[in-house]
Amino acid sequence: MSFAVVSDLARNAMMVGMLIAAPLLIVALLVGLVVSILQTVTQIQEQTLSFVPKLVAVAATFLVALPWMLQLLVEYTAQLFRSLPGLIS
């Protein structure tokens, strides 16, 4: 296996990982920002107030995006398995 093949496999794996994680991280970032602004405006500094909305929003996003995530992972895995004979030789 050449260095180019290994780096291409690693790049594809990282891209799939980033695509899977991006929706969850973006939602957590946006909800955290909104809750932080609300906490600053109202001067309420309760830790659970920032954790619970993020948890609910990320869980809802996960449930909504789960079919897309699974489809992306299945396509990547199928592509990887199809390319195995070429990688071995």
Count of domains observed in the chain = 1
pLDDT digits (tens, 9 = 90+) for 61-79: 999 999 999 999 999 999 9
What's the angle, vertex CA 20, arms to CA 1 and CA 57, rounded to 5?
165
Give this prediction's pTM: 0.83
- The pLDDT score that the predictor gives to residue 59 is 97
Q: Which two tokens stand for residue 2?
A: 């050449």
CA separation for the pair 6, 13 (Å, rounded) = 11
Split at pLDDT 50, 70, 90, the class of 43 is confident
| Domain of 81, in residue numbers | 3-88
